[in-house]
Structure 1
Amino acid sequence: MPRKTLMTLAIATVIAVGGAAFAQPKVVSYPGLGMEPGTVGGTLTLSLADSPPTFMYYGQIDNNTQTLTGVVFDSLVEFNLETYAIEPALAASWDVSADGTVYTFHLREGVKWHDGTPFTSADVVFTYTQIITNPEARAGDAAQFIYTVDGEQRAVTFDAPDDNTVVITLPAPSAAFLLQQRFPMMPKHKLLAYSVEGGAAQAEINNAWSTDTPLSEVVGTGPYKYDSYVAGQKVGLVRNADYWKVDTNGTSLPYAERLDYLVVRGNEAQAAQFLAGNLDTLNISGAQFPDFKSREVAGADFRVITSPALFGSPPHVAFNFDDPTFGAWFSDVAFRRAMEQAVDRQRIIDDVYNGLAEIPGTPTAPADGTFYEDTKSLMLPFDLAAAGAALDALGITDTDGNGVRNVPGGKDLEFSLTYNVDSGTFTDMATIFQNDFAKIGVKANLVGVSGSALLGTGLAGDYQAIIIALGNQPDPELRKPIWQPGGSLYYWHRATQPAEPGGAPNFDAMATWERRVYDIFDQGTTLVDQDARVALYKEWQRLNAVNAPVIMVAKPANIAAVHDRVGNYVYNLGVIPGYNPVPLYYVK
Structure 2
Amino acid sequence: MISTDIFSLVTRCRWFLVLLACIQALALTSCNPTQFKTKAAQVPQLVFASPSGPQTFNITQNQSAFSVFGYIYDGLLTENYALDAKLEPALAESWEISEDKKRVVFTLKNGLKWSDGEPLTVDDVIFTYRDVYLNPKIPTDIKDILRVGTSRAFPTVKKLDERRVEFTVPEPFVPFLRNIGGLPILPAHALKKSVETTDANGNPKFISAWGIDTNPKEIIGNGYYKMESYASSERVVFQRNPYYWRKDAEGNPQPYIERVVLQIIENTDNQLINFRSGQLDSLELSPEVFPLLKREEKRGHFTIYNGGPDSTTLFVSFNLNKARNSKNQPFVDPIKSRWFNTKEFRQAVAYAIDRQRMKENIFRGMGELQNSPIYFKSPYYLSPEQGLKVYDYNPNKARQLLLGAGFKYNSQGQLLDAEGNRVRFTMLVKAEDQSRVNMAVQIKQDLSQIGIQADLQVIAFNVVIEKLQNRSWDCYVGGFGGGGVEPHNGSNIWSSNGRLHQFNQGPELGDPPIQGWEISDWEKEIDRLFIEGSQEFDETKRKAIYAQFQQITQEQLPFIHLVNKLSFQAVRDRIQNLKFSALGGPFWNFYELKVNE
TM (norm. structure 2) is 0.84
8 Å CA contact retained: 1:50, 1:264:
yes
Task: Say whether residues 1:414 and 2:424 are aligned partners.
Answer: yes
Matches within 5 A, 1:479-518: 479-494=490-505, 497-498=506-507, 509-518=518-527
1:287 Cα offset (Å): 2.2
**In the alignment, is the contact (CA less than 8 A) between 2:229 and 2:238 conserved in 1?**
yes
Please give the alpha-carbon distance, in whole angstroms, between the structure 1 residues aligned to 2:90 and 2:302. 32
Give the match for residue 49 of structure 1: 51
Contact 1:71 / 1:582 at 8 angstroms: preserved in 2?
A: no
Please give the alpha-carbon distance, in whole angstroms, between the structure 2 residues aligned to 1:541 and 1:507: 28
Instruction: Kindly state the Cα deviation for residue 487 of structure 1 after the two structures are TM-superposed.
Output: 1.5
Instruction: Report the equivalent of 1:11.
Output: none
Q: Deviations over 1:418-465 (max 9, x none)?
A: 112111110110111011111111001111122344344323322211
What are the ranges of 5 or more consecutive residues in structure 2 without an aligned counterpart?
Answer: 1-41, 322-331
Change in CA separation of 1:476 and 1:121 when aligned onto 2, cut-off 3 Å? same
Of 48-57 and 127-136, more deviation after overlay is shown by 127-136
Alignment partners' CA distance in 2, 1:204 and 1:165? 29
Counterpart of 1:341 in 2: which secondary structure? helix
In structure 2, the CA distance between the partners of 1:295 and 1:124, relative to structure 1 (3 Å rule), is same
**Alignment correspondent of 1:123:** 124
Match of 1:327 among 334, 337, 342: 337
Instruction: Please say if 1:586 is aligned against 2:563.
Output: no
RMSD (CA atoms) = 2.5
| 2:452 aligned residue | 442
Residue 142 of structure 1 is matched in structure 2 by 143
> What is the CA-CA distance between 1:63 and the residue it aligns to?
2.1
- Secondary structure at the residue paired with 2:153? strand
Instruction: Confirm whether residue 304 of structure 1 aligns to residue 299 of structure 2.
Output: no
Tell me what 1:161 maps to. Answer: 160
Change in Cα spacing, 1:406 to 1:535, as seen in structure 2 (3 Å) is same
Distance in 1, Cα, partners of 2:527 & 2:422: 34
Counterparts of 1:99-248 in structure 2 under 5 Å?
99-135=100-136, 137-149=138-150, 152-181=151-180, 182-195=182-195, 197-198=196-197, 201-202=202-203, 204-248=205-249
The one-letter amino acid of 2:172's match is: P
CA distance in 2, matches of 1:572, 1:453: 33
Alpha-carbon distance between aligned partners in 1 of 2:193 and 2:360, rounded to the nearest angstrom: 53
- The answer to whether the 8 A contact 2:141-2:498 is kept is no
Instruction: Please give the alpha-carbon distance, in whole angstroms, between the structure 2 residues aligned to 1:573 and 1:49.
Output: 21
Alpha-carbon spacing, 1:54–1:498, altered in 2? closer, same or farther (3 Å) = closer
| 1:557 match: secondary structure | strand
Amino acid at match of 1:537: Y
Deviations along 1:216-236, one digit per CA (max 9) or x if unpaired, are: 320111111111111111111
Residues 309 and 368, structure 2, Cα contact 8 Å, conserved in 1: no
- Matched with 2:264 is 263
Q: Deviations over 1:1-56 (max 9, x none)?
A: xxxxxxxxxxxxxxxxxxxxxxxxxxxxxxxxxxxxxxx95110011212223211
> How far apart are 1:417 and its partner, in Å?
0.9
Q: 2:357 is matched with which residue: 329, 343, 347?
A: 347
- Specify the alignment match of 1:314 in structure 2: 313
| Equivalent in the alignment of 2:409 | 398
CA distance in 1, matches of 2:470, 2:446: 27
Tell me, in whole angstroms, the C-alpha distance in 2 between the residues paired with 1:558 and 1:246.
31
Paired residues of 1:146 and 1:155 also in contact (CA < 8 A): yes
Which runs of structure 2 are paired with 1:533-552 in the superposition (5 Å)?
Answer: 533-552=542-561
Question: Given that residues 342 and 383 in structure 1 are in contact (C-alpha distance below 8 angstroms), is that contact kept between their aligned partners in structure 2?
Answer: yes
2:524 is paired with a residue whose SS is helix
Q: Deviations over 1:549-576 (max 9, x none)?
A: 1101112222111122222345689999
CA drift at 1:87: 1.4
- Displacement of 1:508: 7.8
Match for 1:522 among 507, 526, 531?
531
TM-aligned CA deviation for residue 257 of structure 1: 1.0
Alignment partner, residue 338 of structure 1: 348
Change (3 A) 1:167 1:199: farther
1:63 counterpart (47, 62, 65): 65
* Partner amino acid, structure 2, of 1:582: F
Q: Which amino acid aligns with 1:253?
A: Q
CA apart distance, 1:304: 1.4
Does 1:560 find its partner at 2:569? yes
Residue 414 (structure 1) shift: 0.8
Mapped to 2, the partners of 1:153 and 1:58 lie a distance apart of 19
Which of 515-524 and 156-165 deviates more? 156-165
Query: Which secondary structure state, in structure 2, belongs to the residue aligned with residue 155 of structure 1?
Result: coil
Alignment-derived partner of residue 474 in structure 2: 464
Kept in 2: contact 1:560–1:571 (CA 8 A)? no
Deviation at 1:184, TM superposition (A): 1.1
Residues 50, 408 of structure 1: CA spacing in aligned structure 2 closer, same or farther, 3 A cutoff?
Answer: same
Structure-2 separation of matches of 1:141 and 1:536: 24
- Give the TM-score normalised by structure 1: 0.85
Contact 1:73–1:184 (CA<8 Å) still a contact in 2? yes
Deviation, 1:198, is 4.6
Tell me which amino acid in the other structure corresponds to 2:61: G
Structure 1 residues 198 and 162, CA gap change in structure 2 (3 angstroms): farther
User: For residues 301 and 125 of structure 1, do their structure 2 counterparts lie closer, same or farther at Cα, with a shift above 3 Å needed?
Assistant: same
Q: What per-residue deviation string (whole Å, max 9, x for no partner) do you get for residues 378-435 of structure 1?
A: 1121011221222122222233x45431122222111111112111110110111011
Decide whether the 8 Å contact of 2:274 with 2:280 is kept in 1: yes
Task: Tell me if structure 1 keeps the 8 A contact 2:309–2:567.
Answer: yes
Kindly state the Cα deviation for residue 511 of structure 1 after the two structures are TM-superposed: 2.2
- Deviation digits for residues 133-157 of structure 1, max 9, x if unmatched? 23554544224333345xx453311
Q: How many Å separate the matches in 2 of 1:550 and 1:79?
A: 29
The 8 Å contact of residues 313 and 479 in structure 2, kept in 1 or not, is answered as yes
1:132–1:140: 8 Å Cα contact kept in structure 2? Answer: no
In 1, Cα distance between the equivalents of 2:538 and 2:88?
21
Kindly indicate whether the alpha-carbon contact (under 8 Å) linking 1:375 and 1:541 is maintained by their aligned counterparts in 2: no
Give the drift of 1:85. Answer: 1.0
Matched letter for residue 290 of structure 2: F
Do the aligned partners of residues 574 and 383 (structure 1) sit closer, same or farther apart at CA in structure 2, a change above 3 Å counting? closer
Q: Aligned residue for 1:72?
A: 72
Q: Give the count of matched residue pairs.
A: 534
* 1:136 to 1:347, Cα distance in 2 relative to 1, 3 A: farther
Seq. identity, %: 25
1:28 is aligned to none
Paired residues of 1:485 and 1:514 also in contact (CA < 8 A): yes
> What SS is found at the alignment partner of 1:335?
helix
Indicate the larger mover: 94-103 or 128-137: 128-137
Residue 520 of structure 1 contacts residue 536 of structure 1 at CA under 8 Å; is this kept in 2?
yes
Q: Is the 8 A contact 1:61 1:138 kept in 2?
A: no
* CA 1:451–1:329: 2 relative to 1, 3 Å: same
Pair 1:281-2:289 in alignment: no
